[in-house]
Amino acid sequence: MIRKSLTLSLQEKIEQRRQSGKKVYSLSNPTFNSKTLNKISLRSYNLQGKLTGEQKLKKIAQDYLFNDWTIKNKSKNKILITSGAKAALYCVFKGLVDINKKNICVINPNWPTYFDIIQLANGIPHHFNTYLKDNFELDLEKLENKIIKSNINILVLTSPNNPTGKIIDNLTINKLIRICSKLKCYLVIDESFSSYVFKEQKLLANKNFDNKYTILVNSFSKNFHLQGLRLGAILCSDNLYEIFSNIHIAINGAANFISQKLIIDNKNNLLKKNNINSKLKLVTNFFDSKNVNYYKPDGSFYIFPKIYNKKYFKKVSERNGLFYLNGKAFGNIYNDYYRFCFEKKISELKLILNIMAKYDIY
């Protein structure tokens, strides 16, 4: 049975408390500033739109989402616009499972929805854990052995990572691409937070796209702060493009045309990030002052701190209006952690940190 979304369930719980008149806050979910977007006239538009996405949006995906990849033979690859990153990942997993690539390994800690989508696509889930003591670095030798011993057909990597903020450096990405190509294992790289990068030195080397075994997924919704519009993108080889697009069209039809048009017309305004580095510094200074153990993010808008006392943390946080997503959602071994989101208004972030400081919630 497919689980209810853990992140959305948390948001529902918070909204229920707010409706009862209580002041509550989410430690784990973002709260975005409102945006002013241009009005759209619907008189001359075919709202169905192109089945695989508007060409102008594909160009934006190429220039903004996939621009840091070196692709030797671009004619062998195509971009598919999807109804969000979830739809993109389902199309990828379902398409590969249907050609008998069923063993899908996710590198943890990672977004809990991966395992639900794998189950929905009739895949067989596996996992490979990384650890805070190692700065969540990949041990490529152990990972290669895992692929061989478990007969892994698809490896799923998120960079920047949700929830740790870890970016896998480009040299390691290239090594992993070569390993997967050698073992004929598809490497699915989810870069949904690609516009949130704080350590550019990790990205100095070029990432070399493998035309056969590399599949990239990205999200307009996350990068442009438009989650409700549900827009994602897949970059893949020409032969896989047909498989994935057929699945997406069968389930979703075309991605929402109005959503696509909003991004096409407002991309420069939407790409602006509001004081994200100041927010990161505010939160890391707080954690450092409390000697909290965490990995300082390279990207995304999440931190994955280790909790000192889980029982006290849960009891006191909810009593004082702070709700959070426990680390176990991101992998069974991370029960001592929680996801902290710093993409909020500065005033809200300061209020949350003041409550945490007052009641020793960390």
For 139-191, what is each residue's pLDDT tens digit? Answer: 999 999 999 999 999 999 999 999 999 999 999 999 999 999 999 999 999 99
Structure confidence at residue 210 (pLDDT): 86
- Cα–Cα distances (Å) from 61 to 194, 231, 292, in that order, read 11, 11, 38
Kindly indicate whether the domain formed by 6-30+273-358 is annotated with CATH number 3.90.1150.10.
yes
Residue 214 phi/psi, 5° resolution?
A: -105, 135
- Cα–Cα distances (Å) from 137 to 134, 140, 169, 287, in that order, read 6, 9, 10, 21
Per-residue pLDDT, averaged over 15-41, amounts to 80
Distance CA 70, CA 13 (A): 44
Three-class DSSP category at 248: helix
Domain map (residue ranges) of the chain: 6-30+273-358, 55-270
Reported confidence tier of residue 228, pLDDT bands at 50, 70, 90? confident
Neighbours of 33 (CB within 10 A): 10
Distance CA 305, CA 295 (A): 7
- Cα–Cα distances (Å) from 3 to 20, 259, 303, in that order, read 26, 27, 24
Structure confidence at residue 2 (pLDDT): 76
For the chain, helix (H) and strand (E) counts, in that order, are 12, 14
Domain 55-270 top-level CATH class: alpha beta
Structure confidence at residue 8 (pLDDT): 79
Reported confidence tier of residue 72, pLDDT bands at 50, 70, 90? confident
* Region of poorest pLDDT, from 25-34, 156-165, 280-289, 307-316: 25-34
Residue 28 has pLDDT above 90, yes or no: yes
Q: Residue 306 contacts by C-beta under 8 Å, 6 or more apart in sequence?
A: 132, 292, 293, 294, 336, 337
For 267-287, what is each residue's pLDDT tens digit? Answer: 777 666 668 999 999 999 999
What is the gyration radius of the CA atoms in the chain, in angstroms?
20
For 211-224, what is each residue's pLDDT tens digit? Answer: 899 999 999 988 87
